[in-house]
């Protein structure tokens, strides 16, 4: 009898947790409980979805922006789920040679996904994990200028690289454009 009551209790607790009301995007981190779902309730991410291109210093950069629902987020003290924009990209030089491709080449362990929406100025902040050995990790802001153009801002953080943290001969070039308020991507 005790086992049956224990099983019913566990079922009730799990059922309540599973039926938890989704939280809106931009919920303050401290207000997100363990296992919660931070959902794009107002479709704030949808206007950014698509393929965008820009040219910068002789390179053609193509962004492939998709919405991912229910992405698992892991922080130091809790795990939760969140709707995000996931960005894959290709960078080609003026001869058409691919310098970096996270869209078709899954061997790169590079992450670029949204972490915050700022509706007041039509922008989305992204976390960028950096290239090999995490070189160039930092934040990227995409500001929607209109229905077909995004303004790109990239703020890399520094990282000290040694032979212990990054094997010799590893390509640590950051191919994404490091700009502040001057590069516009156009929807294709």
When pLDDT is cut at 50, 70 and 90, the band that residue 3 belongs to is low
Q: Is 5 within a domain? A: no
- Say which range, 62-66, 107-111, 117-121, 142-146, has the weakest mean pLDDT: 107-111
* Residue 133: strand pairing partners: none
Q: Report the pLDDT averaged over residues 1-17.
A: 51
Q: pTM of the full predicted structure? A: 0.85
pLDDT at 161: 78
Q: Is 52 within a domain? A: yes
Q: What percent of the chain has pLDDT over 70?
A: 88
Q: Report the pLDDT averaged over residues 104-124.
A: 87
Q: Is 139 within a domain? A: yes
H/E run at residue 10 = helix 2-18
Domain count across the chain: 1
Q: Is 12 within a domain? A: no
Q: Is 62 within a domain? A: yes
Q: Is 170 within a domain? A: yes
* Residue 87: strand pairing partners: 65
Q: Report the pLDDT averaged over residues 106-135.
A: 89
pLDDT at 5: 53
pLDDT at 10: 46
pLDDT at residue 7 tops 50:
no
pLDDT at residue 120 tops 60:
yes
Cβ atoms of 184 and 150 within 8 Å: the answer is yes
Q: Report the pLDDT averaged over residues 116-125.
A: 92
DSSP string, 103-123: SS-TT----EEEEEEEGGGTE
More confident residue, 3 or 62: 62
pLDDT at 1: 54
Spell out the residues 6+ positions from residue 86 whose beta carbon is closer than 8 angstroms to its own. 65, 66, 67, 68, 71, 112, 113, 114
**80 token code pair:** 């939760």
Measured distance CA(162)–CA(179) in Å, rounded: 26
Q: Is 28 within a domain? A: no
Q: Is 40 within a domain? A: no
pLDDT at residue 28 tops 60:
yes
Parent domain of 118 = 45-187
Q: Mean pLDDT of all residues in the chain?
A: 88
H/E run at residue 154 = strand 149-156
Which contacts qualify for 95-103: CB closer than 8 Å, 24 or more apart? Answer: 99/59, 99/173, 99/175, 100/131, 100/175, 103/62, 103/64
Cβ atoms of 13 and 146 within 8 Å: the answer is no
More confident residue, 166 or 62: 62
């Amino acid at each position: 009898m005790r086992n049956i009551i224990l099983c019913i209790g566990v079922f009730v607790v799990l059922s309540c947790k599973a039926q938890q009301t989704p939280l809106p995007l931009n919920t303050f981190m401290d207000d997100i409980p363990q296992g919660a779902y931070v959902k794009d309730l107002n479709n704030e991410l949808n206007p950014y979805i698509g393929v965008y291109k820009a040219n910068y210093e002789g390179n053609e950069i193509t962004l492939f922006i998709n919405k991912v629902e229910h992405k698992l987020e892991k922080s130091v003290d809790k795990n939760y789920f969140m709707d995000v924009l996931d960005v894959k990209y290709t960078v080609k030089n003026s001869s058409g040679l691919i310098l970096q491709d996270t869209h078709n080449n899954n061997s790169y362990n590079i992450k670029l996904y949204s972490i915050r929406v700022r509706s007041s100025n039509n922008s989305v902040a992204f976390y960028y994990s950096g290239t090999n050995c995490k070189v160039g990790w930092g934040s990227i802001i995409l500001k929607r200028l209109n229905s077909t153009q995004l303004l790109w801002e990239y703020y890399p953080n520094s990282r000290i690289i040694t032979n212990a943290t990054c094997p010799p001969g590893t390509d640590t070039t950051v191919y994404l454009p490091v700009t502040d308020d001057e590069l516009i991507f156009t929807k294709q």
